[in-house]
Structure 1
Amino acid sequence: MRDITWENPFCAEGSSCFRLGTDAEGNAYIAVAGQEDHYLTDSLEALRTLITDIKAGKADHLL
C-alpha cells in the first residue's frame, strides 16, 4: 500500500466528491471520496497542468 497524503474532499454542488493526494516520491493521485483505494496516479507536474487547464476553462466543454 502506498503512503498517500489525501487532501480534504472537494465536492461541487450536486456532484460526486473527489480527493487529491500526493506521496513522498512526487506522485499525484485523484480518487472519488470514500474510494481512495481505487485511484488514478500521475506526476505532480501532470496534476498541476490538469488543475491549471481546468481553471483556464479548457475542460468546460466536458460539463
Structure 2
Amino acid sequence: MKDITWEEPFCGEGASCFRIGTDDEGNAYIAVAGQEDRYVTDSREALRNLVRDIKAGKADHLL
C-alpha cells in the first residue's frame, strides 16, 4: 500500500466528505472519507487544476 498523507476531510452541505492526500513522489489522491483504500490519483498539478475548475463552476453541470 502507498504511503499517503491524508488531509482532514472536506464536507460540503449535505454531501459526502472527501479527503485529499499526497505522497513523497509528487502524486495527489482524492477519496471519499472512510474509503481511502479506493482513491483516484494523478499528479499534484492535475488535482490542483481539478479543484480550481470545480471552484470556478466548471463542474456544476455534473451536480
Q: Normalising to structure 1: TM-score of the pair?
A: 0.94
Note the residue ranges of structure 2 that are not aligned, 5 or more in a row: none
Distance 1:16 1:51 in 2: 16
Note the residue ranges of structure 1 that are not aligned, 5 or more in a row: none
Matched residue, 1:29:
29
How far has the Cα of 1:62 moved from its partner? 1.2
Across the two proteins, how many residue pairs are aligned to each other?
63
Deviations 1:17-51 (A, max 9, x none): 11000000000001110110111100001001101
Q: Which runs of 4+ in 1 moved over 6 A?
A: none
Equivalence map 1:1-63=2 (5 Å): 1-63=1-63
| Cα RMSD (Å) | 0.7
**Identity %, equivalent residues:** 81
State the SS of the aligned residue for 1:21: strand
